[in-house]
Amino acid sequence: MARAFDEILGGEDGPPTRDELAAIARWIETTPPEELRRRQRSAEATFRQLGITFAVYGESDAAERIIPFDIVPRVFLPDEWTRLSEGLIQRTEAINAFLDDVYGERRILKEGVLPEDLVLGNPQFRPEIAGMRPPHGIWAHICGIDLVRTGPDEFWVLEDNARTPSGVSYMLENREAMLRLCPELFRNFRVAAVDSYPDRLLETMKSVAPLGVAAPTCVVLTPGHYNSAYYEHSFLADSMGIELVEAADLVVDDDVVWMRTIAGRVRVDVIYRRIDDDFLDPLVFRPDSALGVPGLIAAYAAGNVAIMNAPGNGIADDKAIYSYMPEIVRFYSGAEPKLPNVETWRCREPQALQYVLDNLEKVVVKLVDGSGGYGMLVGPTASKAEIEAFRAALIAEPHRYIAQPTLALSTVPTLAESGLAPRHVDFRPFVLTGANMVQVVPGGLTRVALKEGSLVVNSSQGGGTKDSFVLMDDPVIAQSQDFGFGQTQTMGGMTQSQGPL
């Protein structure tokens, strides 16, 4: 494979021409690696102390680990960000229109844009909630759209997450750590702030409350503190100043949702749920689920509560549907998609299957309903045995798989054992859709594959995270950058001096 494009150091065409990137490159060069390592350790110690941990699936004792943090930030230039945002907003609007349509009129099926059985036969299409409409017709209030990059202007959408996308707490905590550990970067670059995210999220929640509710009560619904993303759930509730509830805290009475408090019942209007559809309401979805709130869907159907994201959203971010996203965007927006999809072979189609089988060592094969980097074949790095196992699986159940070319994902310098080295990254920005506005928070979660050459960035597979800087126009990159080394140690501008003896 050709050398990958490095976002800061440049690609085969040489170093980047943009001043901002050159300045960041200089910061990386002039900061001694052991100093970077010290700061990185300090950040990780903080994360461990705060309990920003996740449990790894498939590990029996639910070991709590922190996700490794890399101190070198990833940088987006102002014009890049503007283009990205436009593409993200267009895509999110299409996702919302699509959901409203497939659970309502089904125009897109009637007009033959998508094969009917791909939607109606898809397990992610939930007939149980067909005909129900969320307040304000908004389904995907919080979208995490995974992007990869292959060149200066080449961004691709890898995956849409329209159910319960996670990772936003890392965006915020990573920034917090960077502000503390690398203040010189923020002195020298105008980095867009991300700390307004909780406020924007709460505004979004309030805006989608059922009609006629003046001061809506909003809550975050978590499966509980054994969940791998519990830290994030509590972090979000905490920063929004709203209750973090579990299913057992909620009761539905007379088609209205209430929470149990020490002073009696309080009516709940908006629920940001971080549990899967299956566990929302045992009367409607899985009857064996002890996690759910009996009657919740009835309250939702009656229009008495907003659930965000809405139940049934899985149909929008299904990998089989993904390959049709360009058509979906065109259908609802009437315009060409601003962000392209990665080329995708649907193995359910015989021709595509043949191509994939002939090129298994070159492509990435994914389970349609898999996630977290599981059930995935990365052809170029797979063993013969792995390839043959996937060949057999593909022939047996082709409809369960899609395949994509192996992309030369961009790299960002990353602190490895041996010093700074290029490592592949992806990016998850967060798009909020409220009753009146669609917005992209200027930042996101950059995930980095810490193993040399690896393209798998999932935290469960040894990935780490980085802060993602979005630079604002008119950056104050001073002529002489002061990165603060070899200077007097100061504390918040105060120096300690000893009194006269």
Task: Report which secondary-structure segment, H or E, holds 452.
Answer: none
Least CB distance to another protein at residue 63 (A): 10
Q: Does 284 bind another protein (CB under 8 A)?
A: yes
Of the candidate residues 93, 184, 195, 243, the single one contacting another protein (CB under 8 A): 243
Q: Does 27 bind another protein (CB under 8 A)?
A: no
Q: Does 302 bind another protein (CB under 8 A)?
A: yes
| Closer by beta carbon to another protein, 122 or else 454 | 122
Q: Looking at this protein, which amino acid is placed at residue 89?
A: I
Least CB distance to another protein at residue 56 (A): 16
Of the candidate residues 65, 78, 128, 420, the single one contacting another protein (CB under 8 A): 128
Q: Residue 430 — φ and ψ, nearest 5°?
A: -115, 130
Q: Does 29 bind another protein (CB under 8 A)?
A: no
Q: What is the 3-state secondary structure (H, E, C) of 412-436?
A: EEEEECCEEEEEEEEEECEEEECCC
| Closer by beta carbon to another protein, 398 or else 413 | 398
Distance CA(380)–CA(399), nearest Å, equals: 23
Of the candidate residues 86, 116, 199, 361, the single one contacting another protein (CB under 8 A): 116
Quote the tokens at residue 315. Answer: 């149909």
Which residues from 217-236 bind another protein, rule CB under 8 A?
Answer: 224-225, 230-231, 234-235
Q: Is the dihedral of CA 40, 44, 50, 54 positive or negative?
A: positive
| Closer by beta carbon to another protein, 133 or else 451 | 133
Q: Does 495 bind another protein (CB under 8 A)?
A: no
Which residues from 36-95 bind another protein, rule CB under 8 A?
Answer: 48-51
Binding flags for another protein, 349-378, as an x/- string (CB under 8 A): ------------------------------
Distance CA(48)–CA(87), nearest Å, equals: 36
| Closer by beta carbon to another protein, 224 or else 419 | 224
- For 470, the 3-state DSSP assignment is strand
Is 258 within 8 Å of 268 (Cβ atoms)? yes
- For 131, the 3-state DSSP assignment is coil
Task: Report which secondary-structure segment, H or E, holds 75.
Answer: strand 69-76
Of the candidate residues 14, 127, 486, 500, the single one contacting another protein (CB under 8 A): 127
Residue corresponding to tokens 């590990």: 59
The rounded Cα 46 to chain-centroid distance in angstroms is: 23
Pick the piece of the chain touching another protein (CB under 8 A) from 238-246, 335-343, 372-380, 391-399. 238-246
Least CB distance to another protein at residue 197 (A): 16
Task: Report which secondary-structure segment, H or E, holds 388.
Answer: helix 384-396
Pick the piece of the chain touching another protein (CB under 8 A) from 116-124, 429-437, 439-447, 459-467. 116-124
Distance CA(312)–CA(263), nearest Å, equals: 34
Quote the tokens at residue 164. Answer: 């319960």
| Closer by beta carbon to another protein, 229 or else 365 | 229
| Closer by beta carbon to another protein, 187 or else 260 | 260
Of the candidate residues 287, 350, 492, 500, the single one contacting another protein (CB under 8 A): 287
Least CB distance to another protein at residue 297 (A): 8
Q: Does 252 bind another protein (CB under 8 A)?
A: yes
Q: Looking at this protein, which amino acid is placed at residue 257?
A: V
Pick the piece of the chain touching another protein (CB under 8 A) from 71-79, 209-217, 243-251, 464-472. 243-251
Name 370's Cβ contacts closer than 8 Å, sequence gap at least 6.
Answer: 319, 376
Give whole-number Cα distances, 319 to 110, 154, 313, 401, 426, in Å: 22, 21, 13, 9, 18
Is 279 within 8 Å of 223 (Cβ atoms)? yes
Which residues from 131-170 bind another protein, rule CB under 8 A?
Answer: 131-132
Give whole-number Cα distances, 299 to 135, 191, 270, 276, 303, in Å: 12, 43, 11, 17, 6
Query: From the CB of residue 392, how many other CB atoms can be counted at a distance below 10 Å?
Result: 9
Q: Residue 200 — φ and ψ, nearest 5°?
A: -65, -35
Of the candidate residues 254, 358, 473, 482, the single one contacting another protein (CB under 8 A): 254
Of the candidate residues 107, 260, 358, 485, the single one contacting another protein (CB under 8 A): 260
Is 242 within 8 Å of 288 (Cβ atoms)? no
Q: Does 278 bind another protein (CB under 8 A)?
A: no
Pick the piece of the chain touching another protein (CB under 8 A) from 147-155, 280-288, 409-417, 478-486. 280-288
Q: Does 259 bind another protein (CB under 8 A)?
A: yes
- Residues within the interface to another protein (CB under 8 A): 48-51, 106, 109, 116-117, 120-121, 123, 125-132, 224-225, 230-231, 234-235, 237-238, 243-246, 248-249, 251-255, 259-263, 282-284, 287, 294-295, 298, 301-302
